[in-house]
């Protein structure tokens, strides 16, 4: 249609003429799309690389034999399997088609460096096992040195050796968790890499592995089988399966590799990519506001042009169409550039990861159609969606507007807006508060939070006038006339000021939400430990995820012997299936539990549990309908089922979990024995410092677990949160940066619009410095408005969510506002505003006075 052609021609020529105006929009879309595409490409690449890695590593294994039952809990998706009897090997080796078979013993073993610090354990597991002689069956291959032959000799993966500065011939300690003196005789690689990502591996002799990692000799985690050439994995697996007793299964090496991949990396990768996607979503959401604003301003500035077009006979649709085509072209170009940027980001990270000690498997970038088309579509849709309202407004331009004086778009603070916003806001706050206080309906709160967010956006223009008036007061005082002029400029178009600030507001709101949430989480931990912990020091091996080995249960009796110590009690882990669901058990001496831990209200007795006594948290007992004296059936990984009697109920369960059994009850079902936490309380009159030193001396003989005072223990527990928060901040920086681009862009457009005013000001004596200061202060005021709004919004939302979470979970969740961090967020917001105004201010100051006053 010729009508459309006209629209296209108009929009293209307008784009060419006003390239600069769209720089901000292009940057916002570009950054968002680049982040999104980068995430997808990196996720695909990592996945493919790991896939490759596991394929290579497990290519020699055709069949894996293991116990068929795995007990999984909410914290452990891999699950616990009973070891298999190595006696089965004899029958397997005789099976036709089998070339070789070996036991694969695997357990937890953390190496210590020369200073006695644990290596690895920050997420990925710390694995110890037997060094399998058959090269094909061993996932690791020897890179240097030799295989372990004598007891105490080990091969370690090269990554952990580098990390701990360990060399062949060095002697160190391996926590299994009993400390074992080991001598490194070889270094291993995993499919050619220094390791399987950050997983640490220690290979020992079979006898050592059986001794330290298995409850008794003759057991192995799995049996690995290699077939003769010409035998398919399926054939071999079927043949082997026929030899196995009940409760033991055989799966193909391929399936095992996939499972290992799934367990080891898929979850991590899934989490990682989801996190990145969420943050690119936030960035693009923020970008939407900046883009919308740009188009709104451009359309307003072009009122006369559009009116002329209308007067000359362009239809509404043509004017609307030309704006939309502009948006589409901008979106397409920016997104295309963003894709290139995204691939660049992925390539950069691939190069960067190894440099920071994360062995990123080598491999070409995997660029799938999806990871290109999705960001492209999102970029274009974001652009079109943001431009829709301004385009409609452009279409509505009255032909007569061409004749009127070109006035700046003004006021958006209509009564209906104020009313809508207030109703939405009140409804949202109501829902959020109801959800938060009314017993923790997180969904209700989330819905309320969403409404509050919308209300903030709607109310922005209404609030911006009074906010800028209030925020401008200090600027007027500090900067006199420049401050006052800046304030008037910011007040000119409340709608524009609000829209500009909204992008930053959302960014800051998310930042403060996470900040408050993290500080609440820390406060919760603090409270938890304070409420639960009756001892003076805690002994543990820090680590999270699957990391950390725990330490030897044999340390507890020695600590109890110390003259300083009043009581010491270790907590270990067990697992069983209760009522069909996997559950973590705390294994300890229940009789002494109350001497080192506050358990709140307690009913029944913790004495004489024997091998069938069970203590249950009140919350769990209520869920299951148990009382003291009730019977509960526990099914263990070894297939044994045993009926336990509920002997005691306790109120606070943060450190003990929901179930407590005795060591004696757990002993027959355990694989590796380990203590995760030991609480020690000192005798009256013993100073914490000297007591701590005494316990530390004992700890040295047990692989050096950390001995920490209560405060230190809390700090360590919370350090994970700080680490996560840092990551979140880094990711949110993008959203905040895009918001700042938006402010800079709005100001640039405003400067352009006010050319004549600026010329006038300069001619009647405004110095360049004053002019710059004026533009910068406008920027600061907009930023301050957005920041304050964001802090209020983020603060309220985090309160509502934390309170709702508190109501919903069985354990109390504290709400804590971190004043220092929030002040920093506020300052950063304002300083960022100053930076955002820098370039527009410089550009404005460079204006030629004569040309400015001669415009039109």
- Which residues contact another protein by CB under 8 A? 407-408, 480-481, 484-485, 488-489, 491-492, 756-757, 760-770, 849-850, 853
- Looking at 72-150, list the stretches that DSSP marks H as alpha helix, in order from N- to C-terminal side: 88-94
d(C-alpha 250, C-alpha 173), whole Å: 35
Q: At its nearest, how many Å lie between another protein and the CB of residue 834?
A: 21
Token pair listed for 719: 């350090």
Q: At its nearest, how many Å lie between another protein and the CB of residue 756?
A: 5
Give me the half-sphere count of Cα atoms (radius 13 Å) on the Cβ side of residue 737: 15
Token pair listed for 628: 């003291």
d(C-alpha 16, C-alpha 30), whole Å: 19
User: If DSSP codes are grouped into helix, strand and coil, which group holds residue 765?
Assistant: coil
H or E stretch at 411: none
Q: Which residue has the tokens 């200090």?
A: 474
Cβ-based nearer residue to another protein, 223 or 761: 761
Q: At its nearest, how many Å lie between another protein and the CB of residue 772?
A: 12
Residues 6 or more apart whose CB falls under 8 angstroms from that of 332 comprise 376, 379, 380
Q: At its nearest, how many Å lie between another protein and the CB of residue 347?
A: 47
Q: At its nearest, how many Å lie between another protein and the CB of residue 283?
A: 34
Look at residues 47, 754, 772, 682 and name the one whose alpha carbon lies nearest to residue 361: 47
Cβ-based nearer residue to another protein, 627 or 846: 846
d(C-alpha 412, C-alpha 424), whole Å: 17
Cβ-based nearer residue to another protein, 409 or 612: 409
Q: At its nearest, how many Å lie between another protein and the CB of residue 783?
A: 20
Q: At its nearest, how many Å lie between another protein and the CB of residue 494?
A: 13
Cβ-based nearer residue to another protein, 181 or 855: 855
d(C-alpha 85, C-alpha 63), whole Å: 16
- If phi > 0 it is left, if psi is from -120 to 50 it is alpha, else beta; for residue 119 that is beta
Q: At its nearest, how many Å lie between another protein and the CB of residue 489?
A: 6
> How far from chain centre, in Å, is Cα 229?
45
Dihedral over alpha carbons 771, 776, 778, 783 (to 10 degrees): 180
Cβ-based nearer residue to another protein, 482 or 803: 482
Q: Which residue has the tokens 């000021």?
A: 497
Cβ-based nearer residue to another protein, 292 or 754: 754
Cβ-based nearer residue to another protein, 66 or 492: 492
d(C-alpha 63, C-alpha 56), whole Å: 15
Cβ-based nearer residue to another protein, 275 or 849: 849
The 10 Å CB-count burial string (b at 16+, else e) for 665-686 is bbeebbbbbbbbbbbbbbeeeb
User: What phi, psi does 817 have (nearest 5°)?
Assistant: -95, 120
Cβ-based nearer residue to another protein, 61 or 493: 493
**Do the bridges between strand 219-220 and strand 84-85 make them parallel or antiparallel, or are there none, so unpaired?**
antiparallel
Q: At its nearest, how many Å lie between another protein and the CB of residue 748?
A: 19
Q: At its nearest, how many Å lie between another protein and the CB of residue 849?
A: 6
Q: Where are the beta strands (DSSP E) in 124-270?
A: 126-130, 140-145, 153-157, 171-175, 179-190, 200-204, 219-220, 222-227, 248-252
Cβ-based nearer residue to another protein, 196 or 750: 750
Q: At its nearest, how many Å lie between another protein and the CB of residue 294?
A: 22
Q: At its nearest, how many Å lie between another protein and the CB of residue 847?
A: 12
Q: At its nearest, how many Å lie between another protein and the CB of residue 486?
A: 10
Cβ-based nearer residue to another protein, 424 or 774: 774
d(C-alpha 253, C-alpha 259), whole Å: 10
Cβ-based nearer residue to another protein, 242 or 769: 769
List 570's β-bridge partners, or say none: 678
Cβ-based nearer residue to another protein, 226 or 492: 492
Cβ-based nearer residue to another protein, 121 or 759: 759
d(C-alpha 214, C-alpha 83), whole Å: 8
Q: What is the DSSP letter of 151?
A: T
List 574's β-bridge partners, or say none: 585
Token pair listed for 233: 């994995």
For residue 849, the tally of other CB atoms under 10 A from its CB is 14
Q: What is the DSSP letter of 606?
A: -
Q: At its nearest, how many Å lie between another protein and the CB of residue 505?
A: 24
User: If DSSP codes are grouped into helix, strand and coil, which group holds residue 495?
Assistant: helix
Look at residues 311, 329, 306, 461 and name the one whose alpha carbon lies nearest to residue 391: 306
Q: At its nearest, how many Å lie between another protein and the CB of residue 742?
A: 22
Cβ-based nearer residue to another protein, 292 or 762: 762
């Amino acid at each position: 249609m010729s009508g459309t052609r006209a629209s296209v021609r108009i929009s293209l020529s307008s784009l060419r003429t006003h390239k600069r105006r769209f720089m901000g929009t292009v940057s916002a879309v570009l950054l968002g799309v680049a982040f999104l595409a980068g995430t997808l490409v990196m996720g695909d690449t990592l996945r493919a690389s790991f896939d490759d890695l596991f394929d290579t590593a497990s290519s020699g294994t055709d069949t894996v034999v293991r116990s068929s039952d795995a007990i999984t809990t909410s914290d452990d998706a891999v699950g616990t399997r009973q070891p298999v009897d190595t006696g089965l090997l004899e029958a397997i080796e005789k099976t036709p088609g089998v070339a070789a078979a070996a036991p694969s013993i695997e357990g937890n073993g953390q190496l210590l460096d020369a200073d006695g610090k644990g290596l690895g354990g920050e997420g990925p597991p710390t694995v110890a096992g037997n060094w399998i002689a058959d090269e094909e069956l061993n996932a690791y291959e020897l890179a240097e040195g030799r295989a372990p032959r004598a007891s105490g000799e080990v091969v370690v993966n090269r990554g952990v050796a580098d990390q701990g500065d360990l060399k062949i011939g060095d002697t160190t300690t391996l926590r299994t968790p009993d400390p074992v003196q080991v001598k490194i005789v070889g270094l291993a690689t995993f499919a050619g890499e220094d390791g399987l990502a950050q997983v640490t591996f220690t290979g020992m002799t079979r006898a050592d592995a059986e001794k330290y990692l298995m409850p008794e000799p003759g057991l192995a985690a799995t049996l690995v089988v290699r077939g003769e050439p010409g035998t398919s994995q399926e054939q071999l697996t079927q043949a082997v399966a026929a030899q196995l007793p009940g409760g033991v299964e055989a799966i193909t090496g391929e399936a095992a590799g996939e499972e290992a991949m799934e367990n080891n990396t898929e979850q991590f990768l899934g989490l990682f990519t989801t996190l990145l996607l969420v943050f690119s979503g936030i960035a693009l959401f923020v970008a939407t506001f900046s883009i919308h604003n740009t188009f709104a301003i451009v359309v307003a500035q072009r009122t006369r042009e559009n009116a002329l077009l209308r007067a000359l006979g362009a239809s509404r649709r043509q004017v609307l169409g030309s704006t939309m085509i502009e948006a589409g072209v901008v979106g397409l170009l920016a997104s295309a550039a963003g894709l290139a940027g995204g691939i660049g980001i992925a390539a950069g990270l691939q190069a960067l990861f190894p440099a920071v000690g994360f062995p990123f498997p080598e491999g070409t970038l995997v660029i799938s159609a999806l990871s290109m088309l999705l960001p492209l579509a999102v970029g274009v849709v974001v652009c079109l969606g943001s431009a829709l309202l301004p385009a409609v407004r452009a279409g509505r331009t009255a032909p007569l507007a061409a004749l009127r004086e070109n006035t700046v778009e003004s006021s958006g603070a209509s009564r209906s807006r104020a009313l809508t916003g207030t109703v939405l806001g009140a409804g949202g706050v109501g829902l959020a508060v109801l959800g938060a206080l009314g017993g923790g309906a997180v969904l209700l709160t989330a819905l309320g939070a969403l409404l509050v967010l919308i209300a903030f956006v709607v109310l922005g223009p209404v609030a911006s006038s009074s906010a800028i008036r209030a925020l401008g007061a200090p600027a007027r005082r500090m900067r006199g006339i420049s401050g006052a002029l800046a304030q008037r400029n910011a007040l000119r178009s409340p709608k524009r000021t609000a829209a500009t600030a909204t992008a930053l507001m959302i960014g800051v709101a998310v930042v403060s939400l996470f900040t408050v949430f993290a500080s609440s989480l820390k406060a919760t931990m603090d409270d938890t430990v304070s409420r639960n912990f009756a001892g003076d020091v805690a002994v543990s091996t820090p680590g999270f995820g699957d990391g950390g080995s725990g330490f030897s249960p044999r340390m507890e009796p020695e600590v109890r012997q110390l003259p300083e110590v009043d009581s010491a009690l270790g907590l270990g882990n067990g697992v069983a299936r209760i009522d069909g669901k996997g559950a973590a058990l705390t294994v300890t001496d229940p009789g002494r539990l109350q001497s080192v831990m506050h358990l709140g209200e307690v009913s029944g007795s913790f004495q004489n549990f024997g091998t069938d006594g069970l203590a249950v948290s009140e919350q769990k007992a209520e869920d299951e309908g148990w009382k003291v004296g009730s019977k509960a059936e526990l099914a263990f990984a070894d297939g044994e089922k045993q009926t336990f009697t509920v002997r005691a109920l306790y109120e606070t369960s943060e450190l003990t979990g929901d179930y407590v059994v005795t060591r004696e009850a757990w002993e027959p079902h355990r694989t590796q024995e380990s203590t995760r936490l030991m609480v020690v309380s000192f005798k009256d009159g013993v100073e914490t410092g000297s007591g701590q030193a005494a316990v530390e001396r004992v700890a040295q003989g047990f692989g050096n677990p950390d001995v920490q005072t209560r405060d230190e223990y809390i700090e360590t527990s919370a350090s994970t949160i700080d680490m996560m928060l840092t990551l979140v901040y880094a990711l949110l920086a993008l959203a905040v940066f895009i918001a700042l681009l938006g402010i800079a862009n709005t100001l640039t457009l405003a400067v352009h619009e006010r050319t004549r005013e600026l010329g006038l000001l300069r001619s009647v004596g405004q110095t360049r410095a004053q002019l710059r200061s004026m533009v910068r202060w406008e920027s600061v005021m907009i930023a301050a408005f957005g920041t304050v709004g964001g802090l209020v919004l983020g603060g309220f939302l985090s309160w509502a969510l934390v309170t709702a979470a508190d109501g919903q979970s069985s354990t109390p969740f504290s709400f804590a506002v971190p004043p220092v961090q929030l002040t920093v967020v506020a300052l950063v917001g304002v300083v960022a505003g100053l930076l955002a105004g820098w370039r527009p201010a410089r550009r404005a100051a460079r204006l030629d006075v004569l040309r400015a006053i001669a415009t039109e």
